[in-house]
Amino acid sequence: MKIRSFDVYILDLPTIRPHQLAMHTIVSQAIVVGCVTDEDGREGWSEVATIGGASYGESTPEAIKANIDTYITPLVIGKDPIHFDKIMFEISKLVRGNNFAKTVVEAAIIDLAARSKGVPAFELFGGQIHTSLPIAWTLASGNTEKDIEEAQEFLRQKRHNIFKLKIGKGDPFKNVEHVRKIKAAVGDQARITVDVNQAWDEDTANYCIEALEDGGVSMVEQPLPTWNYEGMARLTSRFKVPIMADEAANSVQDVFQIAKHRAGNCIALKPCKAGGLTQTKKVAGIAEAAGLGLYGGTMIESSLGTAICAQLYATIPEMKFGTEIFGPLLFKDNITVNDMQYENFEVVIPTGPGFGMEIDREKVKHYTRSEG
């Protein structure tokens, strides 16, 4: 079984409502989809998502596709997909950085390898520990009463009992009051977390985190810029509420430094940041050894990318802060024939061959950007 080809597509998927971050508001999400084919015509599929072109990170969808086509694809042709770890090790020696691109390649090869054996991909990573995982939802209307109503409705439906608010844009003090009112309304029925997306300086963070902690918020994500390890360490030591590193945790080496300097006491996992599933498992191991809590993060992937994350997260012993892999619930449409399942406040881990998702080729074609 040898790899014959690797194809990459950029798709734009519309969302059901705007999704606001500090640096960008998503109304149409760019995803990069990979398809690897072997000599017998078997396929493996993968996906990573990016946010706001170059506003979130350096890996734009256009660069991901160009670097896979030009530099990585020639390195995988003719290789045996079952040896995906060896393939990625060899790629790492010739291609610097490009973690999102490497994730597209590795995940597609893993999907093909698992399908060739007729097993779920999680069997290649030590096997499934969890059959489902807690799932958070982002409240993003910006209107306190509407957000409270939405949270209470999802609690009634047993869809979510963890709610995140993106508070990096606008007046931080008004945002804090918005969060406190929502927490007061839902009480002990739900956990409330916030994501600042690096938007605060340390003075603002000191004031706002104190108010958030007093208001019952259960976690504060990436309050300071990625470079400010010392500031994150000071916040971590000062407050009882957990401080999560997300954008700062972009590689195995980054996570080691966060653990070493205690620049956060929990980590958001995202395969695309680490450069693939194998690297993400290493990140999880470092965090476990250092006593850092883990959170299953998202880049707002569609059903395929979400299944990739879900299957990997299902192999990690403890996800202390749950997950937020709600991406498929935010899109108007889907690129897979089957859907991710959400029930009883959790996301159900797919168990079919590979990552458990069957591609809808017509949808891929429909949403793929025109190269003209």
Using DSSP bridges, classify how beta strands 162-166 and 136-139 pair: parallel, antiparallel or unpaired. Answer: parallel
Q: What is the pLDDT of residue 372?
A: 47
Number of neighbouring beta carbons within 10 Å of residue 57: 19
- pLDDT by residue (tens digit) across 219-266? 999 999 999 999 999 999 999 999 999 999 988 999 999 999 999 999
For residue 189, is pLDDT > 60? Answer: yes
How high is the pLDDT of residue 53?
66
Q: Which residues are catalytic?
A: 166
Mean per-residue pLDDT, 10-34: 81
Could you state, in order of their start, the residue ranges of all structural domains in the chain? 3-118, 124-348
Q: Where are the alpha helices (DSSP H) in the chain?
A: 61-67, 73-76, 84-94, 99-117, 144-157, 172-186, 202-214, 229-238, 252-261, 271-274, 277-290, 303-313, 327-330, 361-367
3-state secondary structure of 296: strand
CATH hierarchy code of domain 3-118: 3.30.390.10
pTM (2 decimals)? 0.94
What is the distance in angstroms between the CA of the first residue and the CA of the last residue of the chain?
Answer: 35
Query: Could you give the residue ranges of the DSSP H alpha helices within 190-342?
Result: 202-214, 229-238, 252-261, 271-274, 277-290, 303-313, 327-330
Q: Cβ(81)–Cβ(46) under 8 Å?
A: no
Range among 15-24, 50-59, 294-303 rated most confident: 294-303
- Asked if residue 51 has pLDDT above 80, the reply is no
CA–CA gap between residue 161 and residue 191 (Å, rounded): 6
351 close to 311: Cβ distance less than 8 angstroms: no
Quick one: CA dihedral 331, 332, 333, 339, positive or negative? positive
SS3 call for 350: coil
Q: What is the pLDDT of residue 59?
A: 84
Query: Is the pLDDT confidence value at 275 over 80?
Result: yes
Per-residue pLDDT of 61-105, as tens digits, reads 999 999 999 999 999 999 999 999 999 999 999 999 999 999 999
Task: Tell me the C-alpha distance between 126 and 296, whole Å.
Answer: 18
The conformation of residue 369, written as its DSSP 8-state character, comes to P
Q: How far apart are CA 91 and CA 89, in angstroms?
A: 5
What pLDDT score was predicted for residue 74? 97
Rounded average pLDDT over 187-193: 97
Query: Is residue 111 over pLDDT 70?
Result: yes
- What is the average pLDDT score of the chain? 94
Q: Sort strands 132-134 and 3-20 into parallel, antiparallel or unpaired.
A: unpaired
What fold is seen in the domain 124-348?
TIM Barrel (3.20.20)
